[in-house]
């Protein structure tokens, strides 16, 4: 199983990015996927989750109303659309597949991880 996260980069404050998490060796439509982020010098934290029944859970208030998680089963890919980005959103963003059906924040409950994609928000 491999997860390939992409779509990060340098963006101006107020800009948007769409991150992609493409999988091989597994059909993501049957699994719960979460996007985590790890700001510089901080711990990794859960951001947005889409369950195997397509229920969505957003964790924390920092990106509330500014992110949308979705999946395209035909492409075996999960996306994270991020809008109105702020400097504090700068982080390495990881996608991960959970070993349980429902969403959750515990990092050790995730079985497979992508390599991360770096998001920098700066003028």
Q: What length does the chain have? A: 123
How confident is the model over 20-43, as pLDDT tens digits?
999 999 999 999 999 999 999 999
Using alpha carbons only, what angle is made at residue 98 by residues 17 and 77, rounded to the nearest 5 degrees? Answer: 40
Q: What is the largest CA-CA distance in the chain?
A: 40
How confident is the model over 1-21, as pLDDT tens digits?
999 999 999 999 999 999 999
- Say how many C-beta atoms besides its own lie within 10 A of residue 45's C-beta: 15
Q: Are 23 and 10 in contact (CB under 8 A)?
A: no
């Amino acid at each position: 199983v491999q997860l390939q996260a992409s779509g990060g980069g340098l963006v101006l404050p107020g800009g948007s990015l769409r991150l992609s998490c493409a999988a091989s060796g597994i059909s993501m439509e049957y699994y719960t996927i979460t996007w985590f982020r790890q700001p510089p010098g901080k711990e990794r934290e859960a951001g947005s989750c889409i369950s195997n029944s397509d229920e969505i859970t957003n964790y924390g208030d920092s990106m509330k109303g500014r992110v949308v998680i979705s999946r395209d089963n035909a492409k075996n890919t999960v996306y994270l659309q991020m809008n109105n980005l702020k400097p504090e959103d700068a982080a390495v963003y990881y996608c991960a597949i959970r070993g349980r059906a429902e969403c959750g924040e515990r990092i050790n409950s995730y079985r497979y991880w992508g390599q991360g994609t770096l998001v920098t928000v700066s003028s």
